[in-house]
A = this chain, B = another copy of it.
Amino acid sequence: MSTADRRAREKARRRREILAAARQEFFERGFHHPTVDDVAARAEVSKGTIYLYFESKEEILAHLLLEGLDLLLEEMEAACEPESAQSPEQALRYLANAYLRFCQENPSYFRLIMAFDRGRFEESISRKLHSKVLNQSLRGLDLLARTVERGAELGEFHAADPWQAAGSVWASLNGVLVLMAHPLRQRLLRSDLETMFQATLDLVVRGLQDGSHR
């Protein structure tokens, strides 16, 4: 067993090393520029070895994406940790800000997450991995939905369908992050990501709190 164990451990370590090398390459030089050779060189293994641990180049990127999602989820979960202690609005704001911080601190992961949406990814990675990514990417929405739901139960939010409302919130925040990713739009709107993000958050929170119907 001990031998098998060590083998497995070493295998896992090697895999992590390759992933780390890929992360550096892709984050430093863009998602398209680095070649498998570049990654192999950085990981100090041969090109063939890469294919021993990953099916394809795209799968490596998918795994990095998964990493990013894990990190994001972790931070979002931490943000609404002592759940009961926070008001739903507070929790919503914490969640949103956790997302904002994550994007600011990990712009490359954010770009990767956004790139996943419209990419040839889906065509070129295994079905299993693809659904893994999708699942993970929905957990954030889930956290949001639960918070909205709690707010609705407490009468603080007016949302007939918490999932839908969570979708709206998520879409709005995401939209700002994408919108402000472009420096030119920051200039045009004479604003920065931080300000814009908070303004949008305020806007949707007010929308959730206001029960009036047109």
A interface residues, Cβ below 8 angstroms from B: 30, 32, 89, 111, 114-115, 117-118, 120, 134, 138, 141, 161, 163-165, 167-176, 178-182, 184-185, 188-191, 195-196, 199-200, 202-210, 212, 214
Contact = CB atoms under 8 A, between A and B. Distances in A.
Contact of A164 (B171, B199, B212): B199
Nearest to A170: B179
Given A205-B214, A207-B206, A175 B164 contact: no
Nearest to A167: B189
Nearest to A89: B214
Given A172-B176, A203-B204, 12 more contacts: A117-B181, A117-B182, A141-B189, A168-B172, A168-B176, A168-B199, A168-B200, A171-B196, A173-B175, A178-B178, A206-B214, A210-B212
The count of identical subunits is 4
B205 A165 contact: no
11 contacts: A32-B120, A118-B181, A164-B191, A164-B195, A165-B203, A167-B199, A171-B180, A171-B196, A202-B214, A206-B212, A210-B210
Nearest to A184: B134
Please name the 9 residue pairs, one residue from A and one from B, whose CB atoms are nearest each other, closest first.
A175-B175, A171-B175, A172-B172, A207-B207, A203-B207, A168-B200, A206-B207, A171-B176, A171-B179
Nearest to A172: B172
Contact of A207 (B114, B176, B204): B204
B141 A188 contact: yes
A167 B182 contact: no
A138 B163 CA distance: 31
Contact of A200 (B32, B171, B182, B214): B171
Given A120-B32, A191-B163, A203 B168 contact: yes
